[in-house]
C-alpha cells in the first residue's frame, strides 16, 4: 500500500503510454530523491504544455505565434502530396527522415473497432472538407502504423475519401490514395521505425 499522495500520482501516470503501476512508482520514488527545484521545474514544464496549440490546418502541435505550423506555412513544399499520420510523434519521425516533401495531416489517433468512440475523435471530416474544395492535391499517402489498428484506420480513411476521389477522377483530375509499402515490419508503430526502413516503405508506396 502506497501513501495516498503517491497512489494518486501513480493513478495519473499509468494513463500515459508504456507506463505501468510499478514503473510509475519507481519514477515517483526517484523524484522524491531529487531536489525541490527539480520537481518544481518538472511541474512548471508540465503546466507550460497548455501554451502549445494545434495547427489550424494539419493539427500538428506547435508553439508559433501563427495559427499555422511552420510546415503548413512553407512555400517550398510539394502541395500535390499530403500524408495522413496518426499522431504528432509519427510526423516528427517522418520529418526527421527528410523523405517526405509534401504536407501532413495529423489524425489524432488510430481508430479502434473495440472503441467506437474513437471514430468521433477523428479529424477526418476536416480533411475531407479540405480535399473536396482543393484543386491541387494529387496524392494522399496513408501513413498509418503497420498494426491492426493502423490497417483498420487506413481502410476507414479510404472509405471516407473515396466519393471525393471518384468525383475528382471522373473530372479527369489525377488522384491517388497510396499506402506505405512493405518494409515496415508488421506490428510496428511508425514512430519506432528508422530512417532507412521508412524511406524504403515510402518509396515503395502504392
Q: Which residues contribute to the site for Zn ion (CB under 5 A)?
A: 55, 57-58, 60, 69, 72
Cβ-based nearer residue to Zn ion, 127 or 198: 127
Residue 160 corresponds to which cell in the numbers above? 471516407
Q: Alpha helix (H) ranges present in 81-185?
A: 88-97, 118-121, 124-133, 148-170
Cβ-based nearer residue to Zn ion, 77 or 152: 77
- Identify the H or E element spanning 78: strand 78-85
Residues in a beta bridge with 84: 105, 142
Shortest distance in whole angstroms from residue 129 CB to Zn ion: 16
Shortest distance in whole angstroms from residue 166 CB to Zn ion: 27
Measured in whole angstroms, how far is the alpha carbon of residue 177 from the centre of its chain?
A: 18
Cβ-based nearer residue to Zn ion, 68 or 177: 68
Cβ-based nearer residue to Zn ion, 58 or 184: 58
Shortest distance in whole angstroms from residue 59 CB to Zn ion: 7
- Identify the H or E element spanning 40: helix 36-48
**Number of other residues whose CB lies within 10 A of the CB of residue 32:** 9
Shortest distance in whole angstroms from residue 104 CB to Zn ion: 7
Shortest distance in whole angstroms from residue 1 CB to Zn ion: 47
Cβ-based nearer residue to Zn ion, 54 or 152: 54
CA separation (Å) from 112 to 91, 121, 159, 163, 178? Answer: 20, 11, 15, 23, 21
Amino acid at each position: 500500500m502506497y501513501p495516498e499522495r503517491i497512489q494518486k500520482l501513480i493513478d495519473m501516470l499509468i494513463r500515459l503510454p508504456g507506463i505501468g503501476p510499478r514503473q510509475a512508482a519507481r519514477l515517483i520514488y526517484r523524484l522524491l530523491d531529487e531536489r525541490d527545484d527539480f520537481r518544481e521545474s518538472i511541474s512548471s514544464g508540465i503546466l507550460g504544455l497548455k501554451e502549445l496549440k494545434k495547427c489550424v490546418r494539419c493539427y500538428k502541435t506547435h508553439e508559433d505565434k501563427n495559427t499555422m505550423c511552420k510546415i503548413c506555412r512553407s512555400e517550398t513544399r510539394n502541395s500535390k502530396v499530403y500524408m495522413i499520420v496518426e499522431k504528432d510523434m509519427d510526423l516528427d519521425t517522418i520529418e526527421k527522415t527528410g523523405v517526405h516533401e509534401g504536407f501532413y495531416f495529423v489524425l489524432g489517433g488510430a481508430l479502434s473497432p473495440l472503441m467506437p468512440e474513437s471514430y468521433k475523435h477523428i479529424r477526418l471530416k476536416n480533411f475531407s472538407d479540405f480535399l473536396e474544395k482543393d484543386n491541387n492535391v494529387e496524392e494522399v499517402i496513408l501513413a498509418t502504423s503497420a498494426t491492426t489498428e493502423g490497417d483498420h484506420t487506413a481502410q476507414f480513411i479510404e472509405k471516407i475519401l473515396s466519393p471525393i476521389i471518384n468525383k475528382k477522377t471522373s473530372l479527369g483530375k489525377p488522384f491517388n490514395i497510396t499506402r506505405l509499402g512493405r518494409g515496415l515490419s508488421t506490428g510496428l508503430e511508425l514512430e519506432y521505425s528508422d530512417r532507412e526502413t521508412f524511406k524504403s516503405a515510402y518509396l515503395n508506396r502504392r
